[in-house]
């Protein structure tokens, strides 16, 4: 059984906290106290492919390799992005992100976890 250690990062400046949290969670795999709240919010997520057309969702997590995450960031899809599902009919998905229209294959869309709450 592995023991998890928690780190209190309340002393970190707000603008630095996102990068620091990302480093701790995804690189070093060390959770911090507010990560518990994050995990509770993750229970409310579902894959992007399960969303209905014309619904608005927020990206909560991308469960993929680094190469795919970078490619999605290049398309404007990252954690916290607000997306609208324009088409979801068995084939590719068409999404609206601000003024952009993006088409994603179902294999990538199933790796994007979203929630209706921000």
Contact 101, 74 (CB under 8 A): no
Predicted pLDDT of residue 117 = 78
Task: Look up the pTM and report it.
Answer: 0.64
**What are the extents of the domains in the chain?**
12-43, 46-115
Q: Is the per-residue pLDDT at 93 higher than 60? A: yes
Residue 7 DSSP label: B
Structure tokens that stand for 52 in this block: 């209905």
104 burial via Cβ count (<10 Å: 0-12, 13-18, 19+): buried
Read off the pLDDT band of 90 (50, 70, 90).
Answer: confident
Whole-number pLDDT of residue 33: 47
> pLDDT tens digits, residue range 74-89?
999 999 999 999 999 8
d(CA 5, CA 30): 7
72 has pLDDT over 90: yes
pLDDT per position as a tens digit, 51-66: 999 999 999 989 989 8
- Does domain 46-115 fall under CATH 3.40.50.720? My reply is no
Does 109 or 10 have the greater pLDDT score? 109
Q: What is the mean pLDDT of residues 101-107?
A: 94
pLDDT score recorded for residue 1:
47
CA distance 52 to 84: 10
Would the pLDDT of 40 be above 60? no
The owner of tokens 């992005």 is 81
């Amino acid at each position: 059984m592995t023991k998890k250690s928690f780190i209190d990062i309340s002393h970190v400046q707000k603008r630095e906290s996102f990068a620091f949290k990302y480093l701790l969670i995804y690189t070093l795999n060390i959770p911090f106290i507010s990560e518990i709240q994050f995990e509770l919010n993750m229970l409310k997520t579902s894959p992007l492919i399960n969303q209905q057309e014309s619904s608005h969702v927020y990206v909560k997590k991308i469960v993929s390799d680094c190469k795919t995450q970078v490619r999605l960031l290049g398309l404007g899809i990252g954690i916290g992005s607000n997306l609208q599902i324009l088409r979801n009919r068995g084939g590719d998905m068409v999404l609206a992100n601000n003024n952009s229209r993006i088409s994603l294959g179902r294999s990538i869309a199933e790796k994007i976890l979203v929630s209706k709450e921000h």
